[in-house]
Structure 1
Amino acid sequence: MILEQRYYKKRPKHVLASKIINATVFEVLELARKYLTKDTRNIDLLDVGCGSGEYAFKFEKFVKKVVGVEPYIPIYEKAVEQRARYKSSVILINKKIEAYQTNHRFDVVVSQNTIEHMSNAKESFEKIFKLMRPGAVLYLTAPNKLWPIEQHYHLPFLALLPLKWANAYMRITGKGDSYEDCSYSLSYRGIRNFFDQFPCEYHFVVPKSSDVGYLGCGEGGIWYKFILSVGIRLIRFNSFFWSFSKGFVLVAIKK
């Protein structure tokens, strides 16, 4: 359990747009249909870092079972409130993923915007892969460490600084006292090297729907969307251009 997490204290109090949630859920379900032999209605899904449960409660409508693991107590408590409101059967666990104990194995694991908050990501993902059945699907989103505007606090080059300097930058700009909670993001090369350690085959995907809330999709005005469109075309032309993407969507299949 985590009692304090500075990023959650400082981030804007907004609710994810329903179109982003819907598009992302349908994207994951389509990938599950592609890689799994079972009907999606029989899928057991694990949501790692489920937050207040926006995605978990939506997934519940389409799969057999959903377990959401959230270590940060205030956000977990919000998820519990939402579960009661929706009369949901989602199982909510207030632990770090490393501490979650079960004999159950999952068909799909969703890890959205969590890896940059994991101080020991290797241990976390060793546990995640243990919780996956052979052939199970991992859907992961992550920010690019090399993107010039840091994606949690929106400060230029924050993610590139040593933690000591990043903390000072945060204080000077009035964004907070510490960047540590969000300081574990990886570059394209870094995330490839990271997943090379695990028993899986993985690839990066460009969401089919422009509403999927990653790679900058679903954001910005006309000029921003134009740049996004060009970037996606470049990525589809050559995977080298993932190095310059705002973020990553990765799908891993456990061997």
Structure 2
Amino acid sequence: MNDFKTIATFTYPSELAVAKSKLASEGVEFRTLDELSVQAHNFLSNAIGGIKLQVREKNIHKARKILIDGGFIKDEMVELSGLEKKLNDIGFQKKLKTGFYILMGVIALAIIIAVSIKTYHAPNDFQKLVGRNWCLDQMVYKGEVYYPNTLHDEIQFKGIDECEEKIQFHADGSATIPGFTTRLINAKWSLKDDLIEIYSDDTLATIFKEKYSYTMNKEMLILAADSITLFCYNELYH
């Protein structure tokens, strides 16, 4: 017959160990509930009402006296409140555990959905290339460093934070590249297999006609091919 009753609860296994030792030395039979769960996951202790220390009903008064004398529980802890009695009810504990795990599941699902939505709406590399103005800082061609200097037929006006020499990738596959003591260079581009290909019939674009591996973050873009490397930065971070 199951006549074990809870006489005390403990938050941590270390607190319980001494109390168990004291009861055992006095020959009082006892058992614990949820001890293994709290040992494995300390954060569950409060959620499930702590570790329950139980003794047989006939030994309740003896066991309580031992625990009170040993300082494990206080006099006012002897009479359990209505809430404590409910927490000590095994059926209620099972419902509480089930509710807790359901809550954790709902939270985990909400996190997964939130991450999925964020990932779904995050711009891909094509959108990042098209959506930003990439200021061309310098070009390294066959080991030599060159700085862009586009020649214009008319005077160019630009904003305070706007760079003049920039590579622009357009969604229709066209691109413009700064000149190097030449006019602006018109080209075409594509993004495939993690490579940016630049090609053009414009004779000025000959040295740029390559397939580039690239490194890109919100601040900079580096295009690298066998003989040429282009170093660019996001105009917003100029």
The structure carrying a bigger strand percent of its residues is: 2
TM-score bucket of the superposed structures, by smaller chain: under 0.3
Which structure's CA Rg is the greater one?
Answer: 2
TM-score norm. by structure 1 comes to: 0.19
TM-score norm. by structure 2 comes to: 0.20
